[in-house]
Homo-oligomer: A and B are copies of this chain.
């Protein structure tokens, strides 16, 4: 009975999947457009933020906030989950499949949990920047913003030995000066742009700066916390997006971006969804998981990389 149940369940799921999503197997031998010959590059962002959150930070409890100064103990315990369980569970997953990801590390999170920051770096993952703390950045002047970003990378470097070259602003909201600040600090790229499914070059003070596509679509905090998706919905989103981009990747340079936060993407069902997704991608040739700094270096001076100066009025 049970074995029948399992077999039929599995077959049913496979059929369901075929039913909804067939057609993605064409053109596997077409021209490839990434310098490394990939048909599709996938990059995972693993945000490590827990411990750096301010009082009242967004959580399942923040909708009915307690009076200022009153500790919200279950909310605080919810955040600690990211440090106790979430990051380590994800690290185990990346290791299982030998995938290297980009971790956006909030400075104060690394200060609070240095072992975790070091474990991320020791796993071969990119240590990227995410500010010194959870704070609005779009409203800072140039000097303050530079200090804010610099303190973040200095702090995290002191702990991990790695200096960030990629940037992610709080809720993506950078200021008009952010790219200039980043360039002054030696950054190669930022990710707070949703305009393309591939990285592009934008000119900042006349020099190349890489804009890496980020995602609200394959983003745990947006869809699971914000939109209240169940983990099976998240998995469908990943697979359907993959199928389309992989097919397009036969003739165009295509990149898929995924975002997982310590306390959300690090929960058991979400890691299970990601595990299933990774397995699914392994059935296709030419799929590569990469760190964003490696992608940035690969495309920075590649003549096939598109140039887009849509924000040039801010970047000169």
Contact = CB atoms under 8 A, between A and B. Distances in A.
Interface of A: 1-2, 4-25, 60-61, 66, 70-74, 76-78, 80-81, 84-85, 89, 138-139, 171-174, 176, 192-197, 216-217, 222-223, 227-237, 240-241, 243-245, 248, 267-269, 271-273, 275-276, 279-280, 282-283, 308, 310-311, 314
A132 B311 CA distance: 24
A74 B193 CA distance: 5
A233 B230 CA distance: 6
Contacts of A89: 244, 248
Contacts of A195: 77-78, 80-81, 84-85
A232 B13 contact: no
A192 B73 contact: yes
Nearest to A72: B173
Could you say how many copies of this chain the assembly holds?
4
A interface secondary structure, majority: helix
A66 B19 contact: no
A283 B15 contact: yes
Contact of A71 (B61, B176, B275): B176
A287 to B, nearest CB: 13
Given A4-B22, A12-B17, A78-B195, 18 more contacts: A2-B283, A4-B7, A5-B10, A8-B12, A12-B18, A12-B19, A13-B14, A14-B17, A15-B16, A15-B276, A15-B283, A20-B235, A70-B139, A71-B314, A73-B176, A81-B194, A230-B236, A241-B272
A73 B18 contact: no
Q: Which 6 pairs of residues, A with B, have the shortest CB-CB distance?
A: A5-B14, A244-B268, A240-B269, A74-B172, A227-B228, A230-B233
Contacts of A6: 6, 9-10, 14, 18, 20-22, 283
A100 B307 CA distance: 32
Contact of A13 (B16, B138, B194, B248): B16
A241 B268 contact: yes
B10 A16 contact: yes
A253 to B, nearest CB: 12
B11 A216 contact: no
Nearest to A218: B269
A57 B240 CA distance: 28
Contacts of A311: 73
A50 to B, nearest CB: 10
Contacts of A279: 5, 15, 18-19, 22-23
A74 B310 CA distance: 12
Which of A81, A84, A196, A223 lies at the interface centre, i.e. has the most chain B CB atoms within 10 A of its CB? A84
Contacts of A81: 194-196
Contacts of A240: 231-232, 268-269, 272-273
Contacts of A272: 20-21, 24, 240-241, 243-244
B12 A60 contact: no
B20 A232 contact: yes
